[in-house]
A and B are shown apart, each in its own frame.
Chain A
Amino acid sequence: MGWMASWIAVQRAGKSEILQHLGLAELGEEVLPGTRAAPFCCREFPDGWLVIFSENFDWASPKRLLDLSRLGFAIACQFEDKVEMTSALTAARDGVELWRVFHDNTQSIFRLDVSGEPPAALAAIRDKAFEEQRANGGEDSSTDFVQDVPLELGRVVCGFHAEEVDAPFTALRKASASGIGGEGKRRGLLGKLLSLGRG
């Protein structure tokens, strides 16, 4: 499936409180993020981080991030490697966006929009990715190295990188319709048609 996913990590907030806020409940099964074994899954990381992973790119929206950030410092990551090589990492606290790092290659493969004051580690991550990009054909390269910058910054902040963490997550299910964890968008006809072949 490549990646077309998103996640939100909240620091130092109770797991049950977060899941309840999202209207999600643990299933008890272990799954690997990205395998579509469950629509949501979660795992705790050092320094009080709880990562809630969704197989839906649109789930970790800015609105949902701002809402969850009232429970604690939170970061949201949306990423895909199938269409425009989009990746974005946004941080918020108390309902206010603090910083954002965004990439897609619709304008340039070197595009990296930064707002606010992200962690200082960004500079080194960005320089390494740009250097790698230039060494491999720059704009004409068939590989997008810059797409990895927000993902790598996410690993620096909360310890999670979807393509590097092998540890299993706990599958989640929707516990109530009132929470904010739902897909948020009904699947259209095209989506239904294209999902027919999925197991």
Chain B
Amino acid sequence: MPGQTPSHGRPGLADSIETWMAQRNADVQRLAAGAHAVGQQVWSDGNRLNQYVSAARPSDVAALGVRAMQKATATGDRVAAGASDAVARQIAAMSPAARRIASGAGDASLAGLNGAQDAFTFGLGDRAYAGVRALADAADGADLGRAYSRHYAGTQALDAYDEGHHPIARGVGEVAGTAAQIGLLGAGEGGVAALKGLAQARRIPQASRLLAREGAALAGGGATAGFGGQAVGDFATGRHSSPADYAAATLGGVAGVGATILSRGRASAGGAADGAVTSVAQDLLNGRPVSMDNARQAAVLGATVGSLAGGAGRAWSNSLSRSAKGQLGEGLSKVRTVARGDMPLADGSVRLPLVGGGFTIPDHLTEGGEIAEAKFGNYARLSPRQRQAYQQPLPNYRVDHFLPRDIGAMFGAPANSAALGLYRPTENFSPLR
């Protein structure tokens, strides 16, 4: 940089230590002034090119200048090499945003972390950071409101910088942050259940597994919920969704049910899958470029609503009286019989004698000859007679064991489909921005 080259005298070459110190201080002052001038130029150029560069404080402007001078060093300029102390001081004084912009190399991973933080906290992390910095500035006599605005603007500039320079890293970070958020919602869904004493939720091993036909019936339920959710959204907002939107919502509903089953009844997982698949499918089927940002937002919304509705379903079913739980189990068992392509007999309360004495009374018999025993709740087990019937074996003896989490899943699917039907994703959405 012309006019900014400092002298490099050593004590032995100077007339005295004092003379050297004076020379050195003059060099540093010249460097700082020069860095500030260069920084102002970079800031000005950046804004002229519509690339917002954060330099909220004088030290940030100087930092930009230092960065520019570092680049010059790489091309043979001697400025930075002779002012390493000043550079270190300048960098130490920078805000993280300016430091990131100034440091250049290696910040792809930081862009990823920043994206993860933004996604995970819905942008609250930026606000918290700005608040802490503003408080520190206020302690030094600065105006709190202005300091907050300045620091928050810095974080937004950093986000814009990351999106412009490290879009993949930031995108990966956002996906990771979203995944962590969904995972936390799932854990929260389970945590609420644990607080309610439902931690030992497990199905007894003798419970009959889902038939493919039952899986298809559940998928049909998910499809209906997805389609219905889109219709609810259209009705409530006066919007007219395209057939492609409906097809995508239907597909999302099916994916949601699949994810719920695979995650052992986590409505949050189902909601996340519903949201992501609906969003991506709507983009694809409508001929739009796929927006991963929209998919991510929809996944978070689905997971949030699914978690809340799922938790409500678990809590409600668990709060029922013993008798009501028993009736709920019996009712669900009959629904299951129908889903299996069979029909419950109207009067199925019979005593079935067992080998070795005693008898068991199943909940209902079916037209197809099945003997159904229904149980509901996390503490349901087989009675000795029922175990006898299972081991005997009593032909076509079927044990249906429903858990509160199943009710949570039943609550979650239509709730998150409706929420997704009402929701219209927008790019760069953040509820707190």
Contact = CB atoms under 8 A, between A and B. Distances in A.
A115 interface: no
Contact of B361 (A1, A148, A188): A1
A120 B238 CA distance: 74
Contact of B381 (A143, A188, A195): A143
Contacts, number: 131
Interface in A138-184: 141-145, 147-148, 163-164, 166
Interface of A: 1-4, 32, 34-37, 56-58, 80-86, 104-106, 109, 132, 141-145, 147-148, 163-164, 166, 188, 190-191, 193-195, 197-199
B375 A143 contact: no
Contacts of B330: 1, 82, 194
Contacts of A109: 381
B326 A83 contact: yes
B193 to A, nearest CB: 14
Interface in B30-56: none
Interface in B353-380: 357-364, 373-377, 379-380
Interface stretch (B103-111, B302-310, B343-351, B419-427): B343-351
Nearest to B391: A143
Contact of B349 (A34, A58, A191, A193): A34
B232 to A, nearest CB: 23
Given A58-B323, A82-B376, A84-B322, A32 B351 contact: yes
Contact of A163 (B360, B376, B380): B360
Contacts of B347: 199
A142 B382 contact: yes
B387 interface: yes
Contact of A34 (B324, B329, B351): B351
Contacts of B377: 82-84
Given A4-B322, A80-B322, A142-B204, A105 B381 contact: yes
A177 B329 CA distance: 31
Nearest to A32: B351
A85 B373 contact: no
Contact of B326 (A2, A142, A144, A166): A2
Nearest to B322: A83
A104 B325 CA distance: 15
Given A148-B383, A197-B331, A1 B324 contact: no
Interface of B: 197, 204-206, 320, 322-331, 334, 344-351, 357-364, 373-377, 379-387
A59 B347 CA distance: 23
B359 A163 contact: yes
Nearest to A198: B346
A191 B324 contact: yes
A142 B399 CA distance: 12
A190 B357 CA distance: 36
A6 B330 CA distance: 18
A147 B385 CA distance: 11
Contact of B379 (A3, A84, A166, A193): A84
Given A144-B384, A163-B383, 12 more contacts: A1-B330, A1-B364, A2-B386, A34-B351, A81-B382, A82-B375, A83-B325, A83-B377, A142-B205, A143-B384, A190-B320, A194-B327
Contacts of A194: 327-328, 330-331
Contacts of B322: 4, 57, 80, 83-84, 86
A149 B331 CA distance: 29
B57 to A, nearest CB: 61
Contact of A2 (B206, B324, B331, B361): B361
Contacts of A58: 323
12 contacts: A57-B323, A58-B323, A82-B380, A83-B329, A83-B380, A85-B380, A106-B379, A141-B381, A142-B205, A163-B383, A164-B358, A197-B334
Q: Which 7 A-B pairs have the closest CB atoms?
A: A199-B346, A199-B347, A81-B383, A194-B331, A142-B204, A194-B327, A144-B381
A145 B360 CA distance: 15
Contacts of A1: 330, 349, 361-364
B383 A143 contact: yes
Nearest to B361: A34
Contacts of A148: 383-384
A56 B323 contact: yes
B364 to A, nearest CB: 8
Contacts of B363: 1-2
A144 B382 contact: yes
Interface centre among B204, B328, B330, B384 (most CB of A within 10 A): B384
A104 B322 CA distance: 11
A51 to B, nearest CB: 17
A173 to B, nearest CB: 18
Task: Name the residue among A4, A86, A106, A193 with the largest chain B CB count within 10 angstroms.
Answer: A4
Nearest to A56: B323
A164 B383 CA distance: 13
Contacts of B348: 199
